[in-house]
Amino acid sequence: MAFNELGLTEDQFYSMMPRDTYIMQGHVIRKRERMWEQTREIVAEIHNMAGKVTKNNLRPEEIKKLSFDEPLQFPQWDKDDAINLIDTLTTKVIWQAS
C-alpha cells in the first residue's frame, strides 16, 4: 500500500517502523471494508424491497465478498504433528547453538 493511501508524507512513511506501517495498513483496509459493508447492505435492502416480493432475496454477501465473510480456518493439530514440530524446533535450536 502506498504511503499516500495511508495519508502520510514520504518522510513520515520512511521514519515509521514496519510494524507500525503494517498496523496502519490494517486500519485503512478495515475502514474500506466497513464502507463496502454498508454499501452492500443498502444495495441488498433496495433490491429486496423494490416492490417485488420474491423468495429469491439477495443477501449482502452475494453482492461483494469481504475478508470477514469467510470463517477463519484454524489448523487441526494432532499429537504426532505437535511432536514433529517440537522435534524440528529443538533440532534447529540445538544446531544453531553449536
12-67 pLDDT, tens digit each: 888 888 888 888 888 888 898 899 999 989 988 888 887 666 667 888 888 888 88
**Where in the sequence is the domain holding 22, given as residue range(s)?**
10-71
Taken in order 8, 32, 34, 49, the sign of the CA dihedral is positive
In the 8-state DSSP scheme, what is residue 42? H
In the 8-state DSSP scheme, what is residue 45? H
84: cell is 514433529
Residue 2 falls within a domain, yes or no? Answer: no
80: cell is 504426532
57: cell is 432475496
Residue 63 falls within a domain, yes or no? Answer: yes
Residue 17 falls within a domain, yes or no? Answer: yes
pTM of this structure: 0.56
